[in-house]
Amino acid sequence: MSLRALLLVLVLVPLSGAEEDPADPRAGEAGAFKGKTLTEAVALLGDRAGNAGFGKLVFAQRCQRCHAPEAGITAIGPFLGLVADQQDRTALLKSIIMPGADLAFGYEMRRFIMTDGKTFEGSQVEDTADAIKIATVKGEMRTLVKDNIKEEERLGTSLMPVDACRAITVDQMAHLLAFIETLKSKAP
């Protein structure tokens, strides 16, 4: 969306009066999906149809620092167009509320213990002859010189925070899913 279109949405939405700010976590019960099983989450969502435009706003606020909205942009997490193309709504929902349940290939967390005793955790982004580049949970990139790595451990967990959608309402989740489904067309 162009900046102009975004501004238009931001202006028109409050004017229409009928819709609350879709990105406002206070609209509806925040954290509706916290601690829910997949079955409970599916029931909660029902057949609610989301609005992809609103979903884009929620995505920009909560997901975009790790997931690029276009294929081919280097990011901490995978581009979601592929997963939207391959998974149905239930499977997508599962990936969102239970990160790590089906870890996307190559995004497993690892712990590196350095010769000076420091430890770093992150998922490997690059592996060159003498260094490993990792993305940390904070979204930082770090380059670890191989000669300084004493030990490496696979943690089997995801870098994606379990609470990534903690403040999301049921409506926002429907919007988010509708937006992610539009990314299919951008899958390479």
Residues that bind ligand HEC (CB under 6 A): 62-63, 65-67, 76-78, 80, 83, 92, 95-96, 99-100, 103-104, 107, 123, 137, 139, 158-161, 164-165, 176
Looking at 46-167, list the stretches that DSSP marks H as alpha helix, in order from N- to C-terminal side: 52-62, 80-86, 89-97
The pairing of beta strand 149-158 with beta strand 108-114: antiparallel
Q: Which is nearer to ligand HEC, 6 or 164 (CB)?
A: 164
Q: Which is nearer to ligand HEC, 12 or 153 (CB)?
A: 153
Least Cβ distance, residue 159 to ligand HEC (angstroms): 4
Q: Which is nearer to ligand HEC, 125 or 149 (CB)?
A: 125
Least Cβ distance, residue 81 to ligand HEC (angstroms): 10
Extract the runs of DSSP E, i.e. beta strands, from 79-183. 108-114, 119-127, 131-135, 141-145, 149-158
Residue 68: partners with Cβ closer than 8 Å, 6 or more residues away: 74, 75, 79
